[in-house]
């Protein structure tokens, strides 16, 4: 993550404008030689003009720094055709009848499409009838209303979000801010920035101007302040302030240890600790089993898990589980579809399996017993944990098991890497709900449950879907049968909610 893509929520300091500065030219391949563009600085500003020029050049457009006879299109922002003609007149430049005067929206649409788009009335700049230059080349006397942006849902479960993020410069900043608010237990601001990041990740185009944000939900005043700062300055001083904040840096470091939550991080910070080495060497501290394992295998656990390593773990888990439960169905959920175990037939406890499952490979095991009640209502909390039986493991993955002998990303002389694996065991009839809940992403799941509650009068969690609008035959005068909607697949759950099915790879909110 680029540390320069950062944020503050106070007044933003403007950079002093340097008059007469020229844009540094970079050699880019020109794909569209019939078009020669000139971007007008008037009412746009030096910084924004330089940003658009560089972006257009990267897309293959020829953009001139100075106006010349070769220019075929003048692009302006917040100017009419009359304004552009007046500017040309002041520069002692006579406009050619072949010269197109266009609004910046045309250029932005070209960059989104990766090629020149058709010039329509809404793109062409208007010349006022009483304007002194009687004719604007390539312009019209009337202007069509601006295009209406397609409606974007506020719910991530109604948007397809792939890993192709066109707005990473903004979403990285929002993720940092959200994390900082989470560390400070400010739920409102945390949710606001997470929702903003999620909606921008779903957009098929980059945000280039503040006009691009019109009609996009979940973008409050604080969020737009950050977007505007990044558009104008290329970075956000607010995020830089967070990244340099001692409390934020300490909490991020402490919570990177397996088994350390916000309360423990807060305690260590108040005790004056700022490094993990100081914490580990302090004799007065007492660590849980999970924290001890977190420190012991820290370097392995904080490193990224590759696709090859995930697949190797999947094979290892499947081999071990099916040895005890031949009919078990094992699926990776989460980012790789993290390992979720489902079975049909008489249940066997994970406590029976875990110690024997991974002989010689088990580095850590923490069993959480099931508290699942079949007819208990789904939780009203969007982030509620489920009640299925779980096992939090750290397994030893030998390098030779990865890609048929190719070493894993964490080399080292020990010949293996410690990998975290969470096993979840659910009743067979709840497998679709468990699979949906454990697939993520976190924001997708939050919005799915929020949608169910606010739009469909239902309640959804990892166990069940409950329809509050339907009542079954009363069991007695004082009791009504609760209507739980059955589902054998994720597709059926989406259908119950009246939603189009979204594939797992399109839930990266």
DSSP for 178-209, written as a single string? HHHHHHTT-HHHHHHHHHHHHHHHH-SS---S
d(CA 471, CA 490): 24
Q: Are strands 100-103 and 73-76 parallel, antiparallel or unpaired?
A: parallel
pLDDT in tens, 449-468: 999 999 999 999 999 999 88
Output the pLDDT for position 294.
96
Output the pLDDT for position 148.
45
Closest-CA residue to 67 (of 29, 41, 34): 41
| DSSP-H helix ranges across 325-393 | 350-357
Closest-CA residue to 36 (of 98, 114, 103): 98
Closest-CA residue to 409 (of 399, 422, 396): 399
**Sheet-wide strand order for 340-342:** 329-331, 340-342, 416-426, 389-398, 362-368
- Please give the annotated binding residues for Mg(2+), written as ranges: 422
d(CA 299, CA 10): 37
Please return the burial class of 291, using the count of CB atoms within 10 Å of its CB with bins 0-12, 13-18 and 19+.
middle
DSSP for 281-337, written as a single string? H-TT----HHHHHHHHTHHHHHSPPPHHHHHHHHHHHHHHHHHH-TT-EEE--BTTB
Phi, psi dihedrals of residue 213, rounded to the nearest 5°: -85, -10
Beta bridge partners of 393: 365, 421
Under-50 pLDDT residues of the chain = 1-25, 129, 131-136, 138-149, 338-348, 405-411, 478-479
d(CA 499, CA 342): 25
Residue 268: both structure tokens together:
């260590």
Output the pLDDT for position 18.
35
CB atoms within 10 A of CB 460: 26
User: Is-contact 459 382, C-beta < 8 A?
Assistant: no
- Please give the annotated binding residues, written as ranges: 422
Residue for token digits 């397809």? 160
Residue 355: both structure tokens together:
């110690």
DSSP for 389-423, written as a single string? EEEEEEEEEEGGGGGGGPPPSS--TTSEEEEEEEE
d(CA 430, CA 443): 22
Q: What Rg, from alpha-carbon coordinates, does the chain have? A: 29
**Measuring CA to CA, how many Å separate 205 from each of 106, 149, 208, 231?**
14, 12, 9, 15
d(CA 236, CA 494): 39
Output the pLDDT for position 5.
34
Q: Are strands 362-368 and 73-76 parallel, antiparallel or unpaired?
A: unpaired
Output the pLDDT for position 13.
41
Output the pLDDT for position 70.
86
Phi, psi dihedrals of residue 424, rounded to the nearest 5°: -125, 125
User: Is-contact 230 1, C-beta < 8 A?
Assistant: no
Contact partners, residue 267, CB within 8 Å, separation at least 6: none
User: Is-contact 67 91, C-beta < 8 A?
Assistant: yes
Closest-CA residue to 348 (of 325, 368, 371): 325
List Cβ<8 Å contacts ≥24 apart for 85-92: 85/127, 85/131, 85/133, 85/136, 86/131, 86/132, 86/133, 87/40, 87/42, 89/132, 89/133, 91/67
Reduced to 3 states, what is the DSSP secondary structure of residue 217? coil
Output the pLDDT for position 28.
78
DSSP for 99-126, written as a single string? -EEEEHHHHHHHHHHTS-----TTTBPB
The three state secondary structure string of 151-170 is: CCCCCHHHCCECCCCCCHHH
């Amino acid at each position: 993550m680029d540390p320069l893509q950062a944020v503050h929520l106070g007044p933003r300091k403007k950079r002093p404008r340097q008059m007469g500065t020229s844009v540094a030219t970079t050699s880019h391949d020109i794909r569209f030689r019939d078009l020669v563009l000139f971007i007008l600085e008037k009412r746009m500003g030096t910084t924004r003009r330089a940003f658009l020029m560089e972006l257009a050049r990267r897309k293959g457009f020829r953009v001139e720094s100075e106006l010349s006879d070769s220019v075929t299109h003048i692009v302006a922002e917040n100017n009419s055709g009359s304004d552009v003609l007046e500017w040309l007149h002041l520069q002692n430049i006579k406009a050619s009848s072949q010269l197109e005067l266009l609004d910046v929206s045309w250029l932005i649409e070209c960059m989104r499409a990766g090629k020149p788009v058709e010039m329509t009335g809404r793109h062409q700049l208007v010349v006022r009838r009483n304007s002194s230059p009687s004719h604007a080349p390539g312009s019209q006397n009337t202007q069509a209303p601006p295009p209406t942006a397609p409606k974007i849902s506020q719910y991530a479960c109604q948007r397809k979000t792939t890993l192709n993020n066109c707005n990473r410069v903004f979403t990285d900043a929002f993720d940092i801010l959200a994390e900082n608010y989470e560390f400070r237990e400010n739920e409102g601001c945390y949710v606001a920035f997470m929702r903003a990041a999620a909606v921008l990740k779903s957009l098929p185009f980059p945000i280039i101007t503040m006009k691009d944000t019109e009609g996009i939900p979940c973008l409050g005043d604080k969020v737009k302040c950050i977007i505007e700062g990044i558009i104008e300055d290329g970075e956000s001083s607010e995020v830089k302030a967070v990244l340099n904040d001692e409390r934020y840096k300490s909490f991020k470091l402490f919570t990177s240890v397996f088994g350390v939550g916000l309360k423990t991080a807060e305690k260590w910070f108040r005790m004056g600790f700022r490094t993990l080495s100081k914490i580990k060497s302090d004799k007065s501290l007492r660590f849980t089993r999970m924290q001890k394992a977190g420190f012991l295998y820290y370097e392995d656990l904080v490193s990224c898990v590759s696709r090859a390593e995930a697949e190797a773990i999947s094979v290892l888990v499947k081999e071990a589980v099916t040895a005890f439960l031949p009919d078990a169905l094992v699926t990776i959920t989460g980012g790789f579809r993290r390992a979720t175990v489902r079975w049909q037939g008489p249940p066997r406890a994970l406590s029976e399996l875990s110690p024997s499952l991974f002989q010689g490979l088990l580095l850590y095991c923490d069993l959480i017993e099931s508290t699942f009640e079949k007819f208990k209502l789904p939780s009203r909390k969007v982030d509620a944990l489920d009640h299925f039986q779980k096992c939090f493991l750290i397994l030893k993955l030998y390098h030779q098991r990865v890609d048929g002998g190719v070493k894993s990303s964490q080399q080292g002389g020990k010949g293996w890497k410690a990998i975290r694996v969470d096993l979840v065991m659910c009743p067979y009839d709840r497998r679709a709900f468990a699979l949906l809940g454990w697939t993520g992403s976190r924001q997708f799941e939050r919005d799915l449950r929020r949608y169910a509650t606010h739009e469909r009068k239902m309640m959804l969690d990892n166990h069940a879907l409950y329809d509050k609008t339907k009542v079954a035959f009363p069991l007695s005068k004082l009791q009504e049968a609760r209507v739980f909607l059955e589902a054998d697949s994720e597709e059926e759950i989406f259908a119950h909610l009246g939603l189009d099915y979204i594939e797992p790879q399109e839930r990266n909110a």
